[in-house]
Chains A and B, each alone.
Chain A
Amino acid sequence: MMKSKVLAVCLLGASVLLAFSGCSKKAEPSGPAAAEKELSWEDQVGLKDNLSAEELYGKAKEEKTVTVYSMSSRLNDVKETFEAQYPGVEVVVYDMRNSEILEKYQREHEAGIRTADLLFIKDSDGAVYNEFVKTGLLREFIPADMMKTAPADYQKGGYAPYFEMKQIFYNTEVYDSCPMDSWWDLTRPEYKGKIILRSPIENSEIMGLFLTMVKNGEDMAASYKKEFGKDIVLDGTENAGYEFLKRLSANDLIVMTSDTDIVEAVGAPGQKNPPFGIATSSKMRNAAKGLMINVAEYLSPRLGILDPAYIYVADGAEHVNAAKLFIRWMGGEADGSGPGFKPFHVRGSWPSRADVKPVETQELSTMNLWSVDMVYNYQHLDDLRNFWMTLQ
């Protein structure tokens, strides 16, 4: 008797729920139509107009504020100098992780919340470009006059004021120079359990690097031959790129969630058998805090890929002019010497504009790099993610 009553309650509950969920469906806008309508937004607000800093400031003062979702805490420094230079325009910085920014922004955009004006993010696996930029969720704005000297690839598309890289860090107290000269060194048994990195599943830059290796399987095969003197034998994988990842993963990797932790583990003084780490190049600045670290400057087949730090304008942003003014400030304004770029002008990061030189860092021109194929990366993202998970 009681059971049947419980069942009745459940059924009633379920029907109520069905009714509710039916209602909620209608509210969602249809994707393509919304995108089409919003395409004209760019023209309405004059996003593409190239105004001078003075003109922008005039308009920005009316907007009063600009909000940035940032993957780097260094934007707080930019905020300070910006507000000093342009009183009356307040900068609000939300410091979050890359994936959090995307998740939050996407949900807010869908719900019609327009908090963010700018997104400062990395996109090495192509997810941002393919899911956000192509669909009009994020808008590109490049201050053309500032990027005249940048590599051609970066004069169009999204604006990247600087590049970083994932590099191999080693401990300089124990090693006089980097004992590794090939990515394949990471698969050697003597480094078993001695390699720290962030998970490619969680970190788009590592993922971008791995995707590029998979795409350039022949490079990896040639490099294997050079390193070990024989042709590579694939163990059930598609190419030497995948094979590399399989062997790397089998080498008892240590996965951490923060590059700060990784370089500290590598470079903390007083170690006898320190690990190696794959971390973001700009962590070289932590050498100033007593860490004994340096990066591999040559690796076979290539040193790696550039990880541009993109700053995009949010679709429907309410403070477009302040946003554009902020972008200019971040890039160091017209001649690149503005204080807005200072926080990024550090060891281990490369200004995208060639008229500003990197600090105590290898010149870009001396570095043998792969180029990144955002479309390929995005198409193979799920495959590689699944492949990596199967290895765990």
Chain B
Amino acid sequence: MGSIAEMTLPRGGGRKLSLQVNRLVNYIRNPQNLISVISIILLLYLVALPLWEILSSTFQLQFRDAAKTGLPEGSLTLRYWSATFASSISKAMFYKPLMNSLLISLTVSVLGITIGGVLAWLVSRTDLPMKKFFSFILVVAYMVPSWCKALAWEVIFKNNRIGGYPGMFQAVFGISPPNWISYGFFPIVVTLSLHYFVFSFLLISSALASIGGDLEEMAEITGAKRGLILRKITFPLVIPAIPPSFILTFSKAIGSFGVPAFLGMKVNYYTLSTMIYANIRNRMTTQAFTLGIVLILVASFTVYLNQKAIGKRKSFTTIGGKSTRKNFIKLKKLKPVITLLVMAFVVFGVVLPLAVLVLQSVMLQPGVYSLDNLTLHFWIGEGNGAIADGEAGIFHNPRIWKALFNTLRLVTLVSLIATVAGVLLGYIISRGRKKLSGRFIEQISFTPMLIPSIAMSTIYLSMFSKPQLFIPVLYGTFALLVLISIVKYLPFAVRSGTSSMMQINTELEEAARIEGTPWVKSFVRLILPLAKGGVFSAFLLIFISGMKELALIMLLVTPETSTLTSLTYSYTESGYEQFSNAITTLIIFIIITVNFIARRVSKADISKGIGG
């Protein structure tokens, strides 16, 4: 950064100018510096500027209100903030949703880390049977979009309150579930926890794997009790994995949209994210921005507190490396019970939602559980006026084909570009840890993680609906979807890029440089091949996240650029759940297939991408 200050603030008079220019040219000639400069500008432009844009717009009188108040458009005003914080609607629009959001995210984080931690310990440290199967199926839980679990929940636990066809539970047992089970806090927390525990599971597993079992083994040999070992060795070793788990879970949960939308809005239970959405839908965009800013602040503050409380995230270096011989803790008598419990968890958390989804997609009338109600119309039916206002089944439906094409194009482009950017930025960061530019890039590329998806899309919606510097109006274009997704997934890509780069010793590069190899060549020929594993994993993780992304693109898609997920949401909203279910099944099928192929071909592993 010091060098940037030099560039922008020339010190001397004209005499020194040529010297300055020379220095600048030299600075830029170095590809590393060039990339630093370009990426700082881009990141400022794509991350910092948008934040500034919405912040400033909340203090400016908007067109709609200008006409009513008689003041000129754009004049300084506090009305949007006072409406949010201190007005008759603050409670309904801000305080209640905020409390709900916080409660949900905290509960989900605690539950997620507990479930994930216990499962991780069981799978990596004990003699639990069928480990391979469990670790595979538990990660599949993450591949099933979270809102799909919400849909499944609704199908099963829908109650009398909202009339219509009965839920599955009611159809089978004849009892209508109470409201708190069907809608609101409880089901939202359960479905989100069943989804986000995967973060903790993967991070804690990898923490456990990286330290091997020999420490515990030694303790056991010296006669320590199992409880003592857990308390004194296993927990402390796992602790560094908890802050990142918490950050990931909390920031994902507080920004999640689909689950609270499906399970909360019907009983007037709003979170900040659904309230933002509602405000935007009602054309109260500036009001939505104020909520978005609060959401970002809350997410950042929690991360900050969390870092404060647990200290800087550090990784343990355990001397001796991985142990080759694993000595598993015996579960003894509890083994069958625990195995059954884990199995039950898998069935309820992963298998059942999927089964419900597939079943729903072949039912003519939702909620009518008889054989003659089964149909393949929603899959292969031709358009027919009698069903769903003439929408054709998904294999005959041009809208869905287009959305499928859009989705694949989007996720492929995004995962490619983001991964490459992640590798480049990771390189800069790992080699420039001591420089301010490196740290700055690390910080700012991590920022999108703190911006909840729905808030981020409100920002981009506003920012790119007018020409920006050299960028034309991107509103309604496919490019905007690509852009926002790249920025949003950058933290994943950069993290994985950085950790791959950290593992590559600089001595290799130095050797290449002494040999006279140009930087670009040594990067492509030397560093990339070494970082291959991490790169593939990041690619895969972004691909999967992109396939099921809803909140991020919800506000930005148009009928032309609609994706599979946005179609799912609009079908659900207009009451054609079967189409949503069929499309969701298709999404999950694609995700699992891609994951399978990627693992076969490249040994890529999304758990590595998450940060393990």
Contact = CB atoms under 8 A, between A and B. Distances in A.
Interface of A: 5, 8-9, 12-14, 16-17, 20-21, 23-24, 27-28, 31, 73, 94-97, 99-100, 102-104, 107-108, 110-113, 115, 127, 130-131, 193, 196, 199, 201-202, 253-258, 260-261, 264-266, 268, 271, 273-275, 288-290, 382, 385-387, 389-392
A100 B281 CA distance: 7
A110 B465 CA distance: 8
A264 B165 contact: yes
A260 to B, nearest CB: 4
A28 B60 CA distance: 14
Contact of B558 (A104, A268, A288, A385): A104
A201 B285 CA distance: 13
Interface in B46-65: 48-49, 52-53, 56, 63-64
B162 A265 contact: yes
B324 to A, nearest CB: 41
B64 A257 contact: no
B469 A23 contact: yes
B381 interface: no
Contacts of A258: 573-575
Interface residues of B, number: 58
Contacts of B365: 290
Contact of A17 (B44, B68, B386): B44
A255 B265 contact: yes
A261 B283 contact: no
Contacts of A199: 278
A17 B466 contact: no
Interface in B306-324: none
Q: Which 3 A-B pairs have the closest CB atoms?
A: A260-B575, A265-B163, A265-B164
A264 B164 contact: yes
B266 interface: yes
Contacts of B87: 386
A260 B67 contact: no
Interface of B: 1, 4-5, 44-45, 48-49, 52-53, 56, 63-64, 67-68, 73, 87-89, 91-93, 160-165, 265-268, 278, 280-283, 285, 365, 367, 386, 389, 436, 440, 465-469, 473, 475-476, 558-560, 573-576
Contacts of B267: 254
Contacts, number: 141
A94 to B, nearest CB: 5
A21 B56 contact: yes
Nearest to A18: B52
B265 A273 contact: no
5 contacts: A94-B558, A112-B473, A257-B573, A264-B164, A386-B87
Contact of B1 (A9, A21, A256): A9
Contacts of A288: 386
A331 B209 CA distance: 70
A24 B164 contact: no
A258 B576 CA distance: 10
Contacts of B162: 196, 254, 256, 265, 275
Contacts of A104: 475-476, 558
Contact of B49 (A17, A266, A389): A17
B158 to A, nearest CB: 10
Contact of B467 (A31, A108, A111, A261): A111
Contacts of B93: 389
**By CB atoms of chain A within 10 A, which of B386, B440, B469, B575 has the most?**
B575
Contact of A261 (B53, B67, B68, B575): B575
B266 A131 contact: no
A275 B281 CA distance: 27
Given A24-B466, A115-B476, 4 more contacts: A21-B49, A94-B558, A110-B466, A390-B92
A62 to B, nearest CB: 24
